[in-house]
Structure 1
Amino acid sequence: MEQELKSERTKQIIIDEAFKLFYENGFKTTSIDKIMTATNLTKGAFYHHYKGKKELGLEIITSKLEKRVFQGMILPLTESGDAFKILETTFLDRIKTFSIYDKQHGCPMNNFINEIGDFESVYQIALKNIIEAWKAALVLLIERGKAENSINKVVSSPAVAVYLISAFEGIRGIRKLYENDVIIDEYISGLSLYLSLLKA
């Protein structure tokens, strides 16, 4: 039992350090050697858990990235209450909560999509699954809002969902180019205007 716990702790250390390095430096430029140096573990410890970087990358996507998107952007959409307010709060408030570190490095999922989304089909499928889950949650919320008369009935729920996801992910990437949040403020102003057009 103790050995199993130690093994699981070792695996988590690898995942945490690899995620940080992928986020800061990119997936392709981060070698297994760099990950092992950051963890102070041996290559044997790495290969005990993973066949290679490809397998580790997939685990980062399906654990770290999926969890971040679920907790930050999907779970809030399932709360009870006024659907329009939930939509507004989720997108406007979330963008304001990111630390300087997160702003400087962008969205981890978006970084992965841009760097390796077309690199391996296994990555593409895993990343697409996260987007599809987010889109599905948004469509459900928008449809609920239409039924409750808080969201305009004539809007296309899938179109609004894709637009909101794309704009949110896009600004996370663009923000990396700027030293201050003026671009974020402009995005928030534009998003607020767009959301007001959806209100019933």
Structure 2
Amino acid sequence: MEKKMKRMATMHRLQVTGLELFYQQGYYNTSIDDILGKLSLSKGAFYYHFQSKDDFFISIIQNLVVQKVYGTLVQPIEGKEDPFTAIAQCFEVSLETAEHNELDRGFVLSNFMAEFKGKNPEIMEYFKDVLKVWEVNLISSLQKGKSDGYVDRHVDSSAVATYLISSYIGIRALMVEGNCRTLRYKYMMQLRHYFKMLANKETA
């Protein structure tokens, strides 16, 4: 049991450090030696746990990226009565967190998707699956909002979900180089205005 725990702890350290460096420097600009050097581990330790760099990165997606996206953007709106309030609060918390992160380089999922597009179809499929989970969650929340009287019944939930994902990715990219606080304020103000336009006028 102790040996298994140590093995799991080493894998987790590798994954956490790997994600940190891949996010900051890019996957193709980061070598396994960069990660091992930061942790003072040998190549033998790495290849004991992972077959290759790609295998290692897939484990990071499955264990850390999925958890990050789910915990930040999916779980906060699951089962909430008013989807517009829940989504707005969820986005604002996420954007405020990014605003105060000095090492922020943008939205982790979209960054990696941009880097891997056209280069590694297998890994791209993992990212598309994560994105799909987020999209389905938004659509489900909006559809539930229609049934509960918060969302106008004529609203195209799929189109709104696409817009929300696109706009969130866009504002996260702008915040990397711009005035984070002002951008967040303007974005959230317009997002709430947009939601008012989609609300069920009979119950609003």
Q: State whether TM-score is above 0.5.
A: yes
1:141-160 to 2 correspondences below 5 Å: 141-160=141-160
Matching residue's letter, 2:86 = I
Q: What is the distance in 2 between the residues matched to 1:76 and 1:111?
A: 22
TM-score, L = length of structure 1: 0.93
Kindly indicate whether the alpha-carbon contact (under 8 Å) linking 1:138 and 1:161 is maintained by their aligned counterparts in 2: yes
| Aligned ranges 1:110-125 → 2 under 5 Å | 110-125=110-125
Alpha-carbon distance between aligned partners in 2 of 1:102 and 1:70, rounded to the nearest angstrom: 22
What is the rounded CA distance, in whole Å, between the counterparts of 1:145 and 1:166 in structure 2? 21
5+ unaligned residues in a row in structure 1: which ranges? none
* 2:90 equivalent to 1:90: yes
| Aligned-residue offset at 1:94 | 2.8
| Alignment match, 1:174 | 174
Cα displacement (A) at 1:103: 6.8
CA distance in 2, matches of 1:102, 1:63: 24
Write the distance in 1 (CA, Å) between the matches of 2:112 and 2:102. Answer: 14
Task: Work out whether residues 81 and 148 of structure 2, in 8 Å CA contact, stay in contact via their aligned partners in 1.
Answer: no
Contact 1:103–1:175 under 8 Å retained in 2: no
Q: C-alpha separation between the residues in 2 aligned to 1:96 and 1:104?
A: 11
Identity of aligned residues (%): 27
Moved over 6 A (4+): none
For the residue of structure 1 that corresponds to 2:114, the secondary structure is: helix
Size of the aligned set, in residue pairs, is 200
The equivalent of 1:22 in structure 2 is 22
- TM-score (normalised: structure 2): 0.91
- Within 2, Cα distance between the matches of 1:173 and 1:77? 23
Instruction: State the alpha-carbon separation in 2 of the partners of residues 2 and 93 from structure 1.
Output: 38
Is the contact between residue 83 and residue 150 of structure 1 (CA under 8 Å) also seen in structure 2? yes
State the match for 2:69 in structure 1: 69
Query: What is the RMSD of the two structures over their aligned residues, measured on CA atoms?
Result: 1.6
Alpha-carbon distance between aligned partners in 1 of 2:179 and 2:8, rounded to the nearest angstrom: 39
Cα deviation, 1:20-60, whole Å, max 9, x if unaligned, reads 10111111100011010011100100111111111111111
